[in-house]
């Protein structure tokens, strides 16, 4: 039956983790996957999560959640994305369901897009998180790309981006990273977001925000929702994928939320019912444990403020490592400019290294990262930063 099945290509991100785990070298460093580590290179469970688990323990049954997921978790998620006093929440204009983290939210939206706007396309930034392409491909939504990154400046290609927005057919779907763009670490400024939002209005485009890193750009989840709030302020209808993988460290819990701002409450009810219809044959209903952790934390002022502090600690450690990596490269006498390490934000540094240079890092130095040159700064520690800088200098100096 299955003789014709060939082995699939390795995932460009999760395949790196597999290769790292298989390497017996004591020197090995994993700066591939975007997963936060403490300064000893160890995974972190936040104190607010531990405390939420303590409160939940013994108090929770294991019943199915509704198809759309936990109502409490969804309400808290909407407040986090749309604002505590959002009129859209009050007016019940948002259709929202709990999802299998950010990937699940994107996929559910892509399937919804295909089902109800079958002739539409999705515009995806160049570059983007590799899985975005897989998601819309498997949902059979044709993809187009728009300019985003400017390799020479290692910053935003704002002119190219605006051109592509203007040249796209009116009423196109665009995938936007709400903050801490993955993989480049390059975000538009507030002023640029305003211009983008204005142009979206002129063209009647639909913005779909992937907000996988809320809190990791500025250290403050509220500030990181700025782009979304600008669009909301300008009267856009939006879609939004939220994930608690990074900002609560709930990677394996698969806790996320998909929301779609509708014209009115009636439309929101209809849209939510259809999102649930799509979820039912795929996984019936989402997992309960992570959702209860999220709603316990966000629903309790003391736990929420502990969470906000812990997000800032994570974001600040990464900023510290950006400075250390840059300084180490400069101390080694690297003739190249490494300004972008500290100019870029969020979890990643888009280093500018070529796939061949990355291969050398892996083969000669046991340093594991994606071949597009992305360094997960969350995996850099005071213990490995000098080793990493030395290796980068070795492969980039000639
Ligand atoms: C990443 O970009 O490394 C993360 O979002 C993890 C993943 O699933 O790819």
The pLDDT tens digits for 313-356 are: 999 999 999 999 999 999 999 999 999 999 999 999 999 999 99
Query: Which atom of ligand 1 is found nearest the CA of 103?
Result: 8
Half-sphere CA count of 97, side-chain side, radius 13 A: 30
Backbone angles phi, psi at 345, to 5 degrees: -130, 170
pLDDT at 264 over 90: yes
Indicate whether 48 pLDDT > 90. yes
User: Average of pLDDT values for 278-288?
Assistant: 97
Pocket flag, ligand 1, residue 346 (CB < 6 Å): no
| Among 168, 162, 224, 167, residue whose Cα is nearest residue 197 | 162
User: Would the CB of 33 count as within 6 Å of ligand 1?
Assistant: yes
| Portion of the chain with pLDDT greater than 90, in percent | 99
- How many angstroms does the Cα of residue 159 sit away from the middle of ligand 1? 28
Backbone angles phi, psi at 306, to 5 degrees: -60, -45
Which is catalytic among the residues 111, 164, 187, 210?
210
* Mean pLDDT for all residues in the chain: 97
Is pTM, for the whole model, over 0.95? yes
Q: What are the structural domains, with CATH classification, of the chain?
A: 14-44+316-396 (3.90.1150.10), 65-299 (3.40.640.10)
In this structure, the residue with its CA closest to atom 2 of ligand 1 is 34
pLDDT at 38 over 90: yes
What pLDDT does 59 receive?
A: 86
Q: For residue 337, how far is its CA from the centre of ligand 1 (angstroms)?
A: 27
Q: Phi and psi dihedrals of 145, rounded to 5?
A: -115, 155
Neighbours of 264 (CB within 10 A): 10
Q: Model confidence at 58, in pLDDT bands (50, 70, 90)? A: confident
Q: Is 360 exposed, middle or buried (0-12, 13-18, 19+ CB in 10 A)?
A: middle
User: From the alpha carbon of 212, which atom of ligand 1 is closest?
Assistant: 5
Q: Is 256 in the pocket of ligand 1 (CB under 6 A)?
A: no
Averaged pLDDT, 154-176: 97
DSSP conformation letters of 223-260: HHTHHHHHHHHTT---EEEEE-TTTS--GGG-EEEEEE
pLDDT over 70 percentage in the chain: 100
Residue with tokens 């907000």: 211
Closest-lying ligand 1 atom to the alpha carbon of residue 183: 2
Q: What is the mean pLDDT of residues 269-283?
A: 97
Instruction: Sort strands 173-177 and 206-211 into parallel, antiparallel or unpaired.
Output: parallel
Give residues with Cβ within 8 angstroms of 398, minimum separation 6.
none
Residue whose pair of structure tokens reads 């997921």 in the numeric block:
69
pLDDT per residue as tens digits for the range 217-230: 999 999 999 999 99
> pLDDT tens digits, residue range 359-373?
999 999 999 999 999
Sequence-distant (≥ 6) Cβ neighbours of residue 338 within 8 angstroms: 325, 326, 329, 330
Confidence of residue 67 (pLDDT cuts 50, 70, 90): very high
- Distance, CA 13 to ligand 1 centroid (Å)? 6
Query: So what's the pLDDT on residue 398?
Result: 75
Dist. CA 103 → ligand 1 center (Å): 9
CB of 294 closer than 8 Å to CB of 73: yes
**Distance from the alpha carbon of residue 344 to the mean position of ligand 1, in angstroms:** 18
- Alpha-carbon span 49 to 311, nearest angstrom: 12
Q: Which of 16, 129, 183 to mutate to test the pocket of ligand 1 (most atoms within 8 A of CB)?
A: 129
Q: Cα–Cα distance between 250 and 49 in angstroms, integer?
A: 9
397 is catalytic: no
The one catalytic residue in 136, 187, 224, 246 is 246
Query: Is residue 386 over pLDDT 90?
Result: yes
Q: Are strands 29-30 and 239-243 parallel, antiparallel or unpaired?
A: unpaired
Would you say residue 71 has pLDDT above 90? yes
Q: Given this model, what pLDDT does residue 384 score?
A: 96
Q: What is the largest CA-CA distance in the chain?
A: 63
**Per-residue model confidence as pLDDT tens digits over 192-217:** 999 999 999 999 999 999 999 999 99
| Residue with CA at minimum distance from ligand 1 atom 1 | 34
The C-alpha atoms of residue 382 and residue 348 are separated, in whole angstroms, by 17
**Local structure of residue 24 (DSSP, 8 states):** -
Give 138-144's long-range contacts (Cβ < 8 A, gap of 24+).
Answer: 138/107, 138/110, 139/107, 139/110, 139/111, 139/113, 139/114, 140/114, 141/110, 141/113, 141/114, 141/173, 144/168, 144/172
Q: Is the confidence at residue 307, as pLDDT, over 90?
A: yes
369 lines ligand 1 (CB under 6 A): no
Q: Is residue 129 flagged as an active site residue?
A: yes
d(Cα 279, Cα 275) in Å, to the nearest integer? Answer: 6
Per-residue pLDDT averaged across 110-129, rounded? 98
pLDDT of residue 127: 97
Q: List residues bridging with 156 in a β-sheet.
A: 149
């Amino acid at each position: 039956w299955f003789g014709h099945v060939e082995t699939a290509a390795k995932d460009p991100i999760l395949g790196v983790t597999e290769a790292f785990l298989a390497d017996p070298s004591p020197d090995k460093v994993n700066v591939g996957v975007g997963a936060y580590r403490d300064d000893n290179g160890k995974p972190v469970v936040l104190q607010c999560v531990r405390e939420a688990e303590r409160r939940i323990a013994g108090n929770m049954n294991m019943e199915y959640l509704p198809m759309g997921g936990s109502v409490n978790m969804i309400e808290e998620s909407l407040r986090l994305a749309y604002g505590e006093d959002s009129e859209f929440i009050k007016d019940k204009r948002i259709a929202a369901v709990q999802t299998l983290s950010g990937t699940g939210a994107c996929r559910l939206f892509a399937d919804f897009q295909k089902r109800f706007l079958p002739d539409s396309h999705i515009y995806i930034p160049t570059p983007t998180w590799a899985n975005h392409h897989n998601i819309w491909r498997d949902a059979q939504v044709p993809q187009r790309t728009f300019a985003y990154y400017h390799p020479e400046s290692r910053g935003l290609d704002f002119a190219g981006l605006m051109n592509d927005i203007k040249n796209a057919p009116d009423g196109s779907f665009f995938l936007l990273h709400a903050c801490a763009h993955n993989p480049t670490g390059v975000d538009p400024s507030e002023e640029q977001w305003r211009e983008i939002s204005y142009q979206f209005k002129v063209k009647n485009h639909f913005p779909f925000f992937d907000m996988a890193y809320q809190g990791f750009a500025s250290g403050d989840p509220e500030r990181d929702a700025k782009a979304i709030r600008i669009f909301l302020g300008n009267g856009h209808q939006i879609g939004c994928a939220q994930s608690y993988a990074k900002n609560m460290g709930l990677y394996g819990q698969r806790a996320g939320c998909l929301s779609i701002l509708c014209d009115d409450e009636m439309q929101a009810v209809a849209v939510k019912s259809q999102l649930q219809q799509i979820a039912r044959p795929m996984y019936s209903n989402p997992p309960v444990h992570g959702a209860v952790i999220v709603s316990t934390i966000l629903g309790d002022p003391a736990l929420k403020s502990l969470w906000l502090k812990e997000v800032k600690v994570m974001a600040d450690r990464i900023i510290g490592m950006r400075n250390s990596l840059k300084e180490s490269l400069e101390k080694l006498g690297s003739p190249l400019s490494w300004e972008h390490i500290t100019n870029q934000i969020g979890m990643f540094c888009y280093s500018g290294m070529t796939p061949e240079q990355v291969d050398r890092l892996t083969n000669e130095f046991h340093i594991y990262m994606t071949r597009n040159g992305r360094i997960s700064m969350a995996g850099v520690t005071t213990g490995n930063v000098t080793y990493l800088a030395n290796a980068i200098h070795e492969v980039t100096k000639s």
